[in-house]
Amino acid sequence: MKTQALAPYVTQCMGIDLSEGMVNEYNSSAQNQGILSSEMHAVLGNLIDATNPNPSPLSSPEFHDFDIAVVGLGFHHFDDPALAAKRLAERLKKGGVLMIVDFMPHEHFHGHDSHNHGHDHPAKKTVMHMGFSDEEVKKMFEGAGVGGGFKFVVLGKGVVFENKEKGMKMERSVFMARGSKL
């Protein structure tokens, strides 16, 4: 979805993911659309390992000096979002933009699992943060060196989780934030 939104404005999209399945899905989607791998391609990698700031699979020049880095609904899964912002910022060129889309702060879902999105989904076990406020994101971006022209926009209750078995439905407010590398 992020790639489709950016495609008209960029010459190349590079995806990086921890999941081999997601990397394969991204690359299959590009191939099925007839898009060259030089224009749209994903690789397996981890930029947020605290013990390895420059992992060898991601150390070549093609993984640096990006114009924009985008994470959509992923920051709440990161153990250390501030480190993630810093690592992404390091790979931007000067003036490059870090943009994230994620959830506004919200309560834990009432159930037996403290990190439950409100539905039975494998990702619920990896939720580390229950959303972010404007102030938290601004501090995170400034700490990472991407506080230039900071903007934070609430997009509304854009994500709905539904558990039909339990007859429960939850709406989550979503925001978009951006900042430029100074």
- The pLDDT of residue 140 is 97
Structure confidence at residue 105 (pLDDT): 87
At 94-134, the pLDDT tens digits run 999 999 999 998 765 544 343 444 444 444 555 566 789 99
Per-residue pLDDT tens for 33-60?
Answer: 999 999 999 999 999 999 998 898 899 9
Per-residue CA distances from 177 to 52, 77, 123 (Å):
27, 17, 23
**pLDDT of 172 over the 60 cut:** yes
Model pLDDT, residue 127: 54
Report yes or no on 68 lying in a domain: yes
159 in a structural domain: yes
Which range of residues forms the domain containing residue 54?
Answer: 46-180
In a domain, 57, yes or no: yes
Domain contains 87: yes
Residue 122 pLDDT = 44
Q: How confident is the model at residue 26 (pLDDT cuts 50, 70, 90)?
A: very high
Mean pLDDT throughout 123-149? 85
- Cβ-count burial 153-178 (b if 16+ within 10 Å, e if not): eeeeeebebebeeeeeebebebbbbb
Measured CA distances, 166 to 14, 97, 103, 105 (Å): 39, 41, 23, 24
Q: Can you give the pLDDT at residue 162?
A: 73
Question: 145 lies in a domain?
Answer: yes
Q: What is the CATH number of the domain that holds 96?
A: 3.40.50.150
Least confident of 19-28, 48-57, 173-182: 48-57
As a whole number of angstroms, the distance between CA 130 and CA 105 comes to 6
Name the residue among 181, 176, 182, 180 with its Cα closest to residue 71.
176
Give a yes or no: residue 130 inside a domain: yes
pLDDT at 107: 66
Share of the chain above pLDDT 70, in %: 86
Question: Which positions ≥6 away from 162 have C-beta within 8 Å?
Answer: 118, 119, 168, 169, 170
Domain count, the chain: 1
Asked whether residue 174 is assigned to any structural domain, the reply reads: yes
Find the mean pLDDT for residues 63-89. 93
